[in-house]
Chain A
Amino acid sequence: MDFKGFDHPGRPAAGGTRSVKVMIAGGFGTGKTTMVRSVSDIKPLTTEETLTQASADVDHLIGVADKTQTTVSLDFGKISLNESLMLYLFGTPGQERFWFLWNGLFKGALGAIVLVDTRRLASSFRAIEEMERLDVPFVIALNVFPDSVNHPIDEIRDALDLSPHTPIVACDARDRASSRDVLVALIHHLKERSDVALETR
């Protein structure tokens, strides 16, 4: 470790390293933590936030510090894209109703991956609705489990009520290359949206 930041007081420190973030959303057990783990360069970590809410809503499953405090944890990992750009991946808390309590959780994200277990489509409905409401661009990643049935993509698109523009890709969240390909699909989607935005100016 060097001290480049300390040699020149008053100058921008430690090169120009910057970050980008991508959120991984989806219902409980759809593979969010697994995907963060498989694609991260570092051992995945967990960070916590203490959220305050009306005690009537407190969920007994998620650890309650006191009547109005709820601890929500976020799994995350990071990928060094190059010497000066880091990609941080955050697996969102399973309980979507806490997302809006965490101010700015999705703000500044490039976009999101919404994981879907095709055996339980409905478990990701809420995540999709929230992405649409927050105007976060997203791709759908169908996480393939051993007993998943191969449904035609159009059927899944209908069942999830997705726009024709939302990409749907299949993946194995346990596999690094497969998870990387989902990230690539997301960035391609963002570029396409950009092209459209430029054309309509």
Chain B
Amino acid sequence: MSAPRRPSDPSGLERYYVLTGGRSGPGGSASSLDVATLIVSLTAPVTGTQHEHEEILRRCRDPLSVAELGAHLGLPFNILAVLLADLLEAGRVEARDPIPAHDAGRGPDLALLEEVLSGLQRL
């Protein structure tokens, strides 16, 4: 892979172009990704793969949100979503969307709200 480990132009559009192979916008399975979606590695990082892919697998041994990943890797959401789509398609990570208060057709999730409440009350 030709992507530099330490890009000389870290915030530049050029870096994003290299990382994503010029692809834009989250496609396929990553299109529903949320900033609060938790990413969990399903396989160990393999050296030799693209540095950022490896870095994601390493950081997501324990579940980590897309927002935290973006902040740690210095990548905007839309670029990260493209990388995560690769990993999701390859079955190397699992994505868990945030739990909504209401599930379509299933009504309000009172048990969830109670769980949130007791967690807050312990703070």
| Residues in A lying within 8 Å of B, measured CB to CB | 1-3, 5-6, 9, 12-15, 17-21, 39, 45-50, 65-66, 71, 74, 76, 78-82, 85-88, 90, 104-105, 107-111, 137, 176-177, 180, 183-184, 187-188, 190-191, 193-194, 197-198, 201
Contact = CB atoms under 8 A, between A and B. Distances in A.
Contact of A21 (B32, B34, B63, B118): B34
24 contacts: A13-B40, A18-B99, A19-B38, A19-B99, A20-B98, A21-B35, A47-B77, A48-B70, A48-B76, A49-B76, A71-B76, A80-B119, A81-B118, A82-B118, A86-B65, A87-B119, A104-B32, A105-B35, A110-B100, A111-B101, A184-B121, A187-B113, A194-B101, A201-B107
Contacts of B61: 1-3, 5-6, 14
Interface of B: 13, 32, 34-38, 40-44, 61-63, 65-68, 70-72, 76-79, 94, 96-101, 107-108, 110, 112-121, 123
Contact of A19 (B41, B65, B120, B121): B65
Contact of B120 (A13, A15, A111, A184): A184
B106 to A, nearest CB: 11
A165 to B, nearest CB: 15
Contacts of A78: 65, 68
B62 A1 contact: yes
Contacts, number: 165
A50 B98 contact: no
